Structure 1
Amino acid sequence: MKQKNSVELRGLSEVLWSFRREFLVVGVFSMVVNLLMLTPTIYMLQVYDRVMMSQSYMTLIVVSLLALFLFGVMAFAEWARSILLVRTGVKLDQALSKRVFKASFLSYLNPAETAPSKAFGDLTVLRQFMTGNGVFAFFDVPWIPIYLAVLFMLHPWLGAVALLFAVVQGAIAWQGHAATQKAQSVTALAQADAQNFLQSKLRNVEVLSAMGMQGSLYQRWKAKQHKALVMSGASQNKVGTVTAVSKFVRYAQQSMSLAVGAWLVTRGEISPGAMIAGNVLMGRALAPIDLLVGTWPQFLTSKDAYGRLQKLLGFQHAGREKTMTQAPLGNLKIEQLVVKVAGREKPVLDGVSFVALPGTVTVVLGPSGCGKSTLARSMLGIWPGYEGRILLDEQPIEQWTRESLGVHVGYLPQDIELFDGTIAENIARIGEVNSEQVIEAAEAAGLHQMILRFPQGYDSRVGQGGSFLSGGQRQRIGLARALYGKPMLVVLDEPNANLDDEGEAALMKAVQLIKAQGKTVVLISHRPGVIQVADRLVILQDGKLVASGPRDGVLEALKKQKESAAAAALPAA
């Protein structure tokens, strides 16, 4: 397991480097292809300068059969390197898809991350470039000096003309890179901004429709989309200019090389066969540069995708290498926890410390915005970064892999997110459904009878995001999901926010049941009514710890504090 994790933790460049053997074989096949690209040139020379002079049919047949054989070998090499690149692309996707999938989820926890959902699109872009014409151009470019050398052997003037056009096309490729790189990057960011804006608003379509907000949001989206279109147009204009100039140079090269060859034939310095062969060979010599110019936009796009993937895969929690082999006892300890958010000077949580013990209910109280939900995410080890220590059974919680820790943890977030599937599948955490455990979790959440009233019972579908259910039903199913498998640590964030009296009574009963089973329960709320089930209280105010300890002691201390404050205020009145 440790070796597997070490492989998964490799950087993107290391993963790509692991495919060096496949690309080396592609390079060998490319060498064969480029060597045999000389076949048409040699064949023309033989036909014009040998067959036509000797009038020998046998020589023509032998030369033609040999040329056909070499063309067959060249076609096989082309096919082999294409197939190898396709298979390499599949292996590359398999090597990175799991890591990209996990990193995408982790990056959503990062408040500074804007578009982790683009990760798989970036992976596709990178894979397609690395297994397409861009790679062929990379392997073909080193053969340009070989072709130029053959042209110089035919005649120095032919080699000089080819060298001149090679320099010109190389300069065009370089200038194209300088002119389009920044424009392409800015355009991609603008397009992503417009797309992300629209996708984020579609998640709240009910509010937008009910309150007639589409018009205002359309104007905002239109401004972002117009900005993206303007930038895209400017970028395409630059790319189009580079492509047009490159085409002009290529057509001029074809004509000028033929003109120089004809001039040399009239002077008797080369044969007509050498003239035609030189023209074909010059086109082949400059084809890789032309291919580089043509694939330059894809190169820039894949370069940006590589940078985003490198950054995304670098966003990992520290540790995450150990596998939890046995259920924890549930001793949770928070020591001097400090949580900061990018762009905000004041910490969301500042020096928070408390303990939550097995067989007890710890209630965290505080007004909205005091950091309660951030505390919930932190104590579960899913906040991207913090200072201080979060210990589970005296071990840092961030060292465990999410898969091994998750089965021992139950979490009911403030915003309930259900997945398109059946009620049973959602309670079973979208894993293999254990019917007994699903029913047990539903009964613990006081949900069993309600589910049986659905037309298909536990097999009823909840719709995308639980759209077929009410807010209270979603919250109670989320509670059952948190209790599935009898986790040792259960964190409930505002679990009664959408519950009616019946649902809240079922919640209190469920909390008492979990406590009786010896589990550790942390219940976060801003409603004082949950104090009745508390064994310990944690009071937060503006991100700081106001009080922490056994319930009765904290309540008594708060009471005395209020009395003292009231007494101190009397003389002033």
Structure 2
Amino acid sequence: MTSTAKAIAEHRGDELLRKEFKGVAVFVFWISGIINVLALTGSFYMLQIYDRALTSGSVPTLAALSALVIGLYLFQGVFDVIRSQLLVRMGARFDRMLAPIAHRVSVDMPRFGFSTGEALERGRDVDTIRTFMGSQGPVALFDLPWVPLYILFVYFLHPVLGAVTLGGAIVLALLTVWTELRSRKLASAAQQAQLTRNSIADSNARNADVIKAMGFSSRAVSRFNTANQDHLTLQTRASDVIGTFGAFSRVLRMVLQSALLGLGAYLTIQGQMSAGAIIAVSVAASRALAPIDMAIANWKGVVAARQSFKRLRDTMIALSGMVRPLELPAPAKSFKVDKITVAAPASGRVLLTEVGFELKAGQALGVIGPSGGGKTTLVRALTGIWPALRGSIRLDDADLTQWDEDKIGEYVGYLPQDVALLDGTIVENITRLAPQRDARAIVAATRAAGVHEMIVRLPDGYDTQLGPMGTSLSAGQRQRIGLARALYGDPFVVIMDEPNAFLDAEGEQALNLAIRQIRARDGIAIIVAHRPSILAEVDMVAVIQNGRMSAFGPKDEIVAGQRQANVNALKVVEPRARGRARALGAP
């Protein structure tokens, strides 16, 4: 993203947040002002009790003052409830707005090399902010701007007491700043340690079968425990810093209140203020320092919410910079790969260089080559999972980036090497969570994949719940349902990575039939394979090795060329082998 585009995206992201929350935040701010003004009721009540009701001995005056104060306290309570409910609803509104965006990013992050724990962190960020909005942290922050109101009240009772209260507030504010400076790095390090711990826990859970079967559970748990100890150490240090400063702030607040009482008593003895003013000063000063003290006590939540908000704001900025492309007509002519270079997103290492070819409607391409040569990388690039560093991939001459992400699924079917099914029903998996069930299209896809009979034999048929990752099915069954998902809706291009890895003879026959049907309806099939039986239905072959495409053309020519290359290799190898055998004394 260029600097200009980034600036525009930041403006859009900030503008969206301001539009959603500015009005509510201003309203809560003014409600906080009303609450803080009404909180002076106790101080005025003490002044009137000691300086008017007691000196006059009037019971009606005392009753009238008490009734008025009760009414004002009730108003304060009502406004306090309104503020609390507004803050909770602000958190819920924030969640409704950002949770889908955060989850969309969580879905995208793993394909760029992030761990599952890191990907899910955005969702936890939304939870952190929603929980924070319902805590006392926002209350303290909205009360902080009204602290000068209490200091002014104390100052009008006596300037010296006002100066002492102001000094105490400044000291507590500096203590808050110091808490922030000391805890910021520790909180960030603790967050990173938590991510590391969660990533290890997620990895252990996903590989539970292997860990159990190969007997290294203790070592896996020990690895998690080491990461957990690092997290706990940093978390404890951060909590110690915040807790220590919180204790100091409470002690300072009590010392300050006692000092105000003592100084007020001295000024009263000197005849410079009334006895009622002493109590009024104590109540007002306590209220003035309470938001600062509360902010320090909730500083851990403040820091966590600020970090979460920053990450979510960056997420919104990134997504607000995306432009929804114009909807293009369905592709029906060609699929072109123009000299693409692809690197692994996690490491940046180039895995595929200058690969290019073109397929017309009705053609099928078989991609062959040694393991680690770049075949799966090519598939990830063709499906848009990994972006190309250079070059382009085009459907009917339009680059993949010009197609709407939600729409392109109708035109491109994908069967990955490791089929992972969603935790849902068979229908939900095949239709890719489509809201409407097109029975004819569903059955057509399952028949093409040769899996319809297997599905209807299940107790719940197409409505069978597959469970997490579809583990209730065998690997072959998962692969055939994955194939049905790829074929659903008759996409123009169907890309399959090792589609026959777990298939039996019957499954391979169904797969070959599916490829034949794709070509018959003028679609395009791209198949990555090791086993040659899959090449029976393709008419074009590409050879990928060492990160490059070494050959591309009609199947007969490429296969004949590969056979000749193998023969030539044997002519070189056999004399060498015979020479070594003679050297070892073999006849």
State the TM-score bracket (shorter-chain normalisation).
over 0.9
Q: Which residue of 2 aligns with 1:4?
A: none
Q: Does 1:528 align with 2:529?
A: no
Q: Which amino acid aligns with 1:255?
A: S
Instruction: Give the CA deviation at 1:280.
Output: 0.3
Q: Counterparts of 1:380 and 1:49 in 2: how far apart (Å)?
A: 82
Select 1:27's aligned residue among 23, 26, 29.
29
The residue type equivalent to 1:257 in the other structure is: L
3-state secondary structure, aligned to 1:455: coil
The one-letter code of the counterpart of 1:68 is I
Q: Report what 1:406 is aligned to.
A: 409
Shift of 1:546: 0.9
Decide whether aligned partners of structure 1 residues 274 and 344 sit closer, same or farther in structure 2, where only a CA change above 3 A counts.
closer
TM-score, normalised by the number of residues in structure 2? 0.90
Give the structure 2 partner of residue 3 of structure 1.
Answer: none
Which of 531, 554, 557 pairs up with 2:558? Answer: 554
**Cα separation, 1, equivalents of 2:219 and 2:312:** 34
User: Does 1:337 find its partner at 2:351?
Assistant: no
Distance 2:9 2:562 in 1: 50
Question: What is the aligned counterpart of 1:193 among 188, 193, 196?
Answer: 196
Please report how far the alpha carbon of residue 88 of structure 1 lies from its aligned counterpart in structure 2 after TM superposition: 2.0
Give per-residue Cα distances to partners, 1:467-500, cap 9 Å, x unaligned. Answer: 1111111100110111111111111111011111
Cα RMSD of the aligned pairs, angstroms, is: 2.5
Task: Specify every segment of 5 or more residues in structure 1 that has no aligned partner in the other structure, as ranges.
Answer: 1-6
Report if aligned partners of 1:104, 1:312 keep a CA contact under 8 Å in 2: no
Cα distance in structure 2, aligned partners of 1:449 and 1:341: 40
Q: TM-score, normalised by structure 1?
A: 0.93
Deviates more, 1:272-281 or 1:25-34: 25-34
Which deviations, in whole Å up to 9, do the C-alpha atoms of 1:214-235 show, x marking residues without a partner?
Answer: 1221221121112222222222
Q: Which residue of structure 1 aligns with residue 510 of structure 2?
A: 506
**1:325·1:404 contact (CA, 8 Å) conserved in 2?**
no
Deviates more, 1:218-227 or 1:61-70: 61-70
**Residue 398 of structure 2 is aligned to residue 382 of structure 1:** no
Q: Offset of 1:326 from its aligned partner? A: 4.1
User: What is the alpha-carbon distance in structure 1 between the residues aligned to residue 321 and residue 476 of structure 2?
Assistant: 37
Change (3 A) 1:318 1:398: farther
Q: Which moved more, 1:110-119 or 1:563-572?
A: 563-572
Deviation at 1:356, TM superposition (A): 2.5
Residues 181 and 174 (structure 1), Cα distance of their counterparts in 2 relative to 1, 3 Å cut? same
> Quick one: distance in 2 between partners of 1:76 and 1:558?
83
Pairs within 5 Å for 1:291-440? 291-313=294-316, 319=322, 321-322=324-325, 324=327, 326-329=329-332, 331-342=334-345, 344=347, 346-384=349-387, 386-431=389-434, 432-440=436-444
Matched, 1:37 2:39: yes
- Sequence identity, in percent? 35
From 220, 223, 226, give the equivalent of 1:223. 226
Contact between 1:356 and 1:522, CA under 8 Å: does it hold in 2?
A: no
Alignment of 1:280-295 (within 5 A): 280-295=283-298
Match in the other structure for 2:475: 471
Whether the aligned pair in 1 keeps the contact of 2:341 and 2:388 (CA below 8 Å) is: no
| DSSP-derived class of the 1:492 partner | strand
Distance in 2 between residues matched to 1:330 and 1:296, nearest whole Å: 61
Q: Which amino acid aligns with 1:407?
A: E
Match of 1:141 in 2: 144
Q: Which residue of 2 aligns with 1:49?
A: 51
- Equivalent residue in structure 2 for 1:541, among 536, 545, 555: 545
| 1:264 maps to which of 261, 264, 267 | 267
Q: Which of 478, 486, 492 is matched with 2:496 structurally?
A: 492
Question: Are residues 501 and 393 of structure 1, via their aligned partners in 2, closer, same or farther at CA, if it must alter by over 3 Å?
Answer: same
Judge conservation of contact 2:345–2:386 (CA < 8 Å) in 1: no
Trace 1:149-188 onto structure 2 (pairs within 5 A): 149-188=152-191
Question: SS where residue 507 of structure 1 aligns?
Answer: helix
Q: 1:236: Cα distance to partner?
A: 2.0
Contact 1:410/1:483, CA 8 A, preserved across alignment: yes
Residue of structure 2 equivalent to 1:17: 18
For 2:545, give the aligned amino acid. Answer: Q
How many residue pairs align between the two structures? Answer: 567
Q: Any idea what SS the aligned residue of 1:291 has?
A: helix
Q: Note the residue ranges of structure 2 that are not aligned, 5 or more in a row.
A: 1-7, 580-587
CA distance in 1, matches of 2:348, 2:28: 52
